[in-house]
């Protein structure tokens, strides 16, 4: 990042930011004027809120989750009391990690996984164990094998959760296949021999689908609602600056998480929550997401086209074609080290492009880090810059492969 | 609180909220329109920010602190790199507590002290030790005695900080006297034999002065800037819903605090920070605080007048006359238990008034909790309701004293 800031001519395909040009200035102004134009509503928004968050917003996000999952209120055990609003879903992931884990506890994750979550786990003294994944996401059999191994070692009581980025994973771009969703929930339940093993479902990218049909969340496969924690955010789909995330928690976790949140800040900024509720109420959200999808769809196409043109000719370079999200995950020939100790990173910078070495996205144990991997993001740059960036990366790769 | 919500006819003099009627709807609308009316500025506000916070806002709060303390840039060691913005100062207090203390560590506080901070300390396994205070705040000699006692017990290495609410303390209403400010800083420095003992100055109420002259912060007495951490917030002086707090930290603490903050949420909501910077820039803050002071000045006068009329005739009931803040601290005859196990709390509810038992505001060790104390807040209610509330409290007291 420091390098990118110091050399603005370098095309960064590294940061997972959202495209600044698409940020919803007009929609936010419309909602802010409506909210603050009504003195009573405005005062309520400028006052303290509650620790769990603004009730109408919690009702809206729950309703949207159920609608997206194709469930009626009668078909779910989820209630508004289980919805918690936070400053982005990251804060919620941190609160959950702080609540669920003691030092030495274990979380199972796909290898690779979201590196910020892995960092949080490490900082809390939690062991992250990487499980094999393929183009359909985390492999249920691999999860079972890992659990059986841990049981033989007497470490099963330390396993507290499975962490799954269920849509357009950061960094692997993979969406967990429909038939695996119920199976992962069932596995977590069946192995909850000592205490609950939760499935922590990070659905941050769910709204960013560019083709194909939406899938139900893992929460939809949790009939009793005691296993899956689902988290989502408006940071990617609307604005990271307003910064409203939320989750639906199993009943048993609501109290402990709110107690910790009360301890930290008594609840996330109330004004941002009222503003976000207004945006949803006034129908300003859907048209924005649709515009966003159109923009990112074009950028993803630009990256895949450039990859087909410039990377495909290089031997042993592979990637998946994502249906959403912000990332393309690149696998290189095994002998190429894309990390800071290899030659490619510097060669890429010399050619004018920056990427995230994939090795940073691997859990501390389990499947070992693959140094021949790269996370590319198409979120920030224009289609032209994306194409130029991929071309530069291909030049760097060709040099290193020589 | 539950009781107050279930019985709206009860006059709550308990909550330390700000007066909903005074919340700055128009000023916020003006700033929001200016910010979002400029597409480029609007987009920047809706994007991710940095972990430390929005640079122009950090520059503004530092400039204001120096101006209030009567210092020029040349006279201070404080730089913008030491300013950290958080979601209210509470989040900063929590980050600081998390960073400064290990379980078993000690913080010295006035007895009584802000109960939310005491709760945070307890939850982190930190021992809070209460030191005697009087109408000039924490007594320096009592701090020295406590430090000497801890040294004799071999516990000095566990003392990591002094916590001081330096203006219109919550709950005691006391402002730390000018001549004690430098002395507390000097004491902390002199006793930093094993490692730094920080002075954590919570200046949340500094802006809410209703008479007399402002005093320099404790930070102004810390020439090297390695001892005092000063925290402030716009929650009390502008809006708790926007929720922007900030602090100036000794250089050695900036890295660790930002690392922890990055781990939790990568920085507080950016939009709220841009909005607050706009409010300051456009000169919308000062006129609002002035209106706020006028409103609270009247409410404080109403509470003190009612106290003179209804409480003064009761034997052994005493209070201080605060110059700012939101609280009046009441001392009752020793035999009266104002807590949940005494008769007064229920008698007060029966008469239609709710207060905070003072016993909740005492640190875990040191000066023992006084059960014959009450925290009253004049922030929320109208002057008429304040008068009626004090009259009801006097009736309850008279009944219990019979």
- The tens digit of pLDDT for each residue in B357-389 reads 999 999 999 999 999 999 999 999 999 999 999
**What pLDDT does residue B89 have?**
94
Flag whether pLDDT at B96 surpasses 80. yes
Q: Chain A interface, mutation test: which of B2, B39, B48, B284, most A Cβ atoms within 10 Å?
A: B48
Whether A23 and B46 lie within 8 Å, measured CB to CB: yes
**What pLDDT does residue A239 have?**
97
pLDDT tens-place string over residues B307-320: 999 999 999 999 99
How much of chain B exceeds pLDDT 70, in percent?
Answer: 98
| Residue among A18, A32, A87 minimizing CB distance to B87 | A87
**Using CA of residue B334, residue B338, residue B342, residue B343, what is the dihedral sign?**
positive
pLDDT tens-place string over residues B247-287: 999 999 999 999 999 988 889 999 999 999 999 999 999 99
User: Of A283, A300, A328, which marks where a domain is finished?
Assistant: A283
Q: What average pLDDT does the structure give for chain B? A: 96
Whether B32 and A33 lie within 8 Å, measured CB to CB: yes
Q: How confident is residue B131, by pLDDT bands cut at 50, 70 and 90?
A: very high
**What pLDDT does residue B344 have?**
98
Whether A274 and B241 lie within 8 Å, measured CB to CB: yes
**What pLDDT does residue A266 have?**
87
Flag whether pLDDT at A1 surpasses 80. no
b/e per residue A295-321 (b: at least 16 CB within 10 A): bbbebbebbbebbeebbeeeeebebbe
**What pLDDT does residue A116 have?**
94
For the range A151-160, what are the long-range contacts, defined as Cβ-Cβ under 8 Å and sequence gap of 24 or more?
Answer: A155/A106, A156/A191, A156/A193, A156/A194, A157/A194, A157/A195, A158/A104, A158/A105, A158/A106, A158/A127, A159/A105, A159/A106, A159/A107, A159/A108, A159/A191, A159/A197, A160/A100, A160/A101, A160/A105, A160/A106, A160/A107, A160/A195, A160/A197, A160/A198
| Residue among A29, A241, A263 minimizing CB distance to B47 | A241
Show residues of chain B in contact with A258, CB under 8 Å: none
Rounded-to-integer distance, Cα B79 and Cα B169, Å: 27
**What pLDDT does residue B75 have?**
85
Interface of A with B in 228-267 (CB under 8 A): 235, 239-243, 263-266
Q: How confident is residue A18, by pLDDT bands cut at 50, 70 and 90?
A: confident
Whether the CB-CB separation of A184 and A140 falls below 8 Å is answered with yes
Flag whether pLDDT at B38 surpasses 70. yes
Residues B177, B45, single domain; the answer is yes
Q: How confident is residue A2, by pLDDT bands cut at 50, 70 and 90?
A: low
Q: Is B272 on the interface with A (CB under 8 A)?
A: yes
Residues B256, B359, single domain; the answer is no
Mean pLDDT of B112-132: 96
Whether A91 and B265 lie within 8 Å, measured CB to CB: yes
Q: What tokens does B47 get?
A: 């994007």
Search chain B and give the residue with CA nearest A27: B36
Residues B275, B358, single domain; the answer is no
Query: Per DSSP, what are the bridge partners of residue B165?
Result: B202
> Dihedral of the CA atoms A85, A89, A95, A100 (nearest 10)?
110
Q: What tokens does A221 get?
A: 């496969």
Q: Is B217 on the interface with A (CB under 8 A)?
A: no
Interface size, chain A vs chain B, as Cβ–Cβ contacts under 8 Å: 150
Whether B265 and A87 lie within 8 Å, measured CB to CB: yes
User: Of A283, A312, A339, which marks where a domain is finished?
Assistant: A283
**What pLDDT does residue B328 have?**
98
Whether B269 and A270 lie within 8 Å, measured CB to CB: no
Q: How confident is residue B15, by pLDDT bands cut at 50, 70 and 90?
A: confident
Q: Chain B interface, mutation test: which of A89, A93, A269, most B Cβ atoms within 10 Å?
A: A269
Whether the CB-CB separation of A33 and B33 falls below 8 Å is answered with yes
Whether the CB-CB separation of A376 and A303 falls below 8 Å is answered with yes
Strands B106-110 and B159-165: parallel
Q: How confident is residue A232, by pLDDT bands cut at 50, 70 and 90?
A: very high
**What pLDDT does residue A73 have?**
81
Residues A133, A273, single domain; the answer is yes
Residues A66, A6, single domain; the answer is no
Q: Is B163 helix (H, G, I), strand (E, B) or coil?
A: strand
Flag whether pLDDT at B61 surpasses 70. yes
Residues A162, A221, single domain; the answer is yes
- Rounded to the nearest angstrom, the minimum Cα separation between A53 and chain B is 12
Whether A17 and B263 lie within 8 Å, measured CB to CB: no
Residues B185, B323, single domain; the answer is no
- Rounded to the nearest angstrom, the minimum Cα separation between B289 and chain A is 15
Q: What tokens does A309 get?
A: 């043109």
Whether A39 and B25 lie within 8 Å, measured CB to CB: yes
E strands present in A284-363? 318-319, 327-331, 353-354, 356-357
Instruction: Give the sheet arrangement for strand A127-131, strand by strand.
Output: A83-86, A245-248, A228-233, A198-202, A159-165, A106-110, A127-131, A365-366
**What pLDDT does residue B270 have?**
97
**What pLDDT does residue B59 have?**
97
Residues B78, B161, single domain; the answer is yes
User: Of B222, B247, B281, which marks where a domain is finished?
Assistant: B281
DSSP letter for each residue of B33-53:
HHHHHSHHHHHHHHS---SS-
Show residues of chain A in contact with B24, CB under 8 Å: 46
Residues B13, B47, single domain; the answer is no
Flag whether pLDDT at A7 surpasses 80. no
Show residues of chain A in contact with B264, CB under 8 Å: 90-91, 94
CATH number for the domain spanning B216: value is 3.40.640.10
CATH number for the domain spanning B330: value is 3.90.1150.10
Q: Is A329 helix (H, G, I), strand (E, B) or coil?
A: strand
Q: Is B307 helix (H, G, I), strand (E, B) or coil?
A: helix
Mean pLDDT of B136-158: 98
Q: Is the pTM of this model over 0.90?
A: yes
Rounded-to-integer distance, Cα B134 and Cα A291, Å: 62
Q: Is A283 exposed, middle or buried (0-12, 13-18, 19+ CB in 10 A)?
A: exposed
Show residues of chain A in contact with B45, CB under 8 Å: 241
Residues A83, A129, single domain; the answer is yes
Q: How confident is residue B5, by pLDDT bands cut at 50, 70 and 90?
A: low
Mean pLDDT of B55-69: 97
Search chain B and give the residue with CA nearest A19: B47
Q: What average pLDDT does the structure give for chain A? A: 96
Interface of A with B in 279-298 (CB under 8 A): none
Q: Is B316 on the interface with A (CB under 8 A)?
A: no
How many residues belong to chain A?
402
Residues A202, A342, single domain; the answer is no
Whether A33 and B29 lie within 8 Å, measured CB to CB: yes
**Neighbour tally for B170: CB within 10 Å:** 26
For B372, the domain range is 2-23+287-401
Query: Per DSSP, what are the bridge partners of residue B247?
Result: B84, B231
Residues B206, B301, single domain; the answer is no
**What pLDDT does residue B85 have?**
98
| Residue among A33, A239, A263 minimizing CB distance to B94 | A263
Flag whether pLDDT at A314 surpasses 80. yes
Rounded-to-integer distance, Cα B360 and Cα B163, Å: 17
pLDDT tens-place string over residues A274-300: 999 999 999 999 999 999 999 999 999
Search chain B and give the residue with CA nearest A260: B123
Q: Is B47 on the interface with A (CB under 8 A)?
A: yes
Tally of domains in chain A: 2
Query: Per DSSP, what are the bridge partners of residue A377?
Result: A327
Mean pLDDT of B211-232: 97
- Tell me what ipTM this predicted complex has: 0.94
Strands A198-202 and A159-165: parallel
């Amino acid at each position: 990042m420091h390098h990118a800031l110091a050399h603005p001519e370098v095309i960064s395909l590294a940061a997972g930011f959202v495209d600044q040009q698409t940020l919803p200035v007009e929609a936010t102004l419309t909602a802010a004027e409506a909210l603050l134009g009504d003195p009573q509503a405005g005062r309520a928004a400028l006052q303290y809120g509650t620790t769990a968050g603004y009730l109408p917003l919690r009702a809206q996000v729950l309703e949207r989750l159920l609608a997206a999952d194709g469930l009626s209120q009668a078909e779910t055990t989820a209630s508004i009391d289980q919805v918690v609003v936070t400053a982005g879903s990251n804060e919620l992931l941190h609160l959950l990690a702080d609540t669920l884990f003691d030092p030495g506890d274990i979380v199972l994750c796909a290898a690779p996984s979201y590196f910020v979550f892995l960092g949080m786990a490490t900082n809390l003294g939690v062991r992250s164990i990487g499980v094999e994944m393929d183009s359909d996401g985390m492999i249920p059999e691999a999860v079972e094998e890992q659990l059986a191994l841990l049981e033989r070692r007497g470490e099963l009581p330390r396993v507290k959760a499975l962490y799954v980025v269920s849509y357009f994973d950061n960094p692997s771009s993979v969406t967990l296949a429909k038939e695996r969703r119920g199976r992962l929930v069932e596995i977590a339940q069946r192995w909850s021999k000592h205490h609950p093993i939760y499935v922590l479902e990070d659905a941050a990218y769910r709204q960013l689908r560019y083709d194909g049909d939406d899938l139900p969340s893992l929460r939809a496969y949790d009939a009793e609602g005691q296993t899956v924690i689902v988290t989502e955010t408006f940071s990617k789909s609307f604005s990271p600056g307003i910064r409203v995330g939320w989750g639906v928690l199993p009943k048993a976790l609501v109290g402990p998480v709110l107690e910790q949140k009360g301890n930290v800040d008594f609840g996330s900024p109330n004004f941002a929550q009222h503003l976000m509720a207004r945006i949803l109420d006034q129908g300003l959200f859907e048209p924005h997401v649709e515009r966003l999808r159109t923009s990112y769809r074009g950028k993803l196409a630009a990256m895949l086209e450039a990859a087909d043109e410039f990377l495909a000719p290089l031997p042993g370079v592979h990637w998946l074609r994502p249906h959403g999200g912000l990332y393309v995950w690149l696998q290189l020939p095994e002998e190429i080290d894309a990390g800071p100790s290899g030659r490619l990173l510097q060669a890429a910078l010399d050619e004018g492009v920056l990427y995230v070495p994939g090795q940073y996205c691997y859990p501390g144990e389990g499947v070992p880090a693959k140094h021949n991997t790269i996370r590319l993001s198409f979120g920030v740059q224009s289609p032209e810059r994306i194409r130029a960036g991929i071309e530069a990366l291909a030049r760097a790769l060709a040099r290193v492969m020589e």
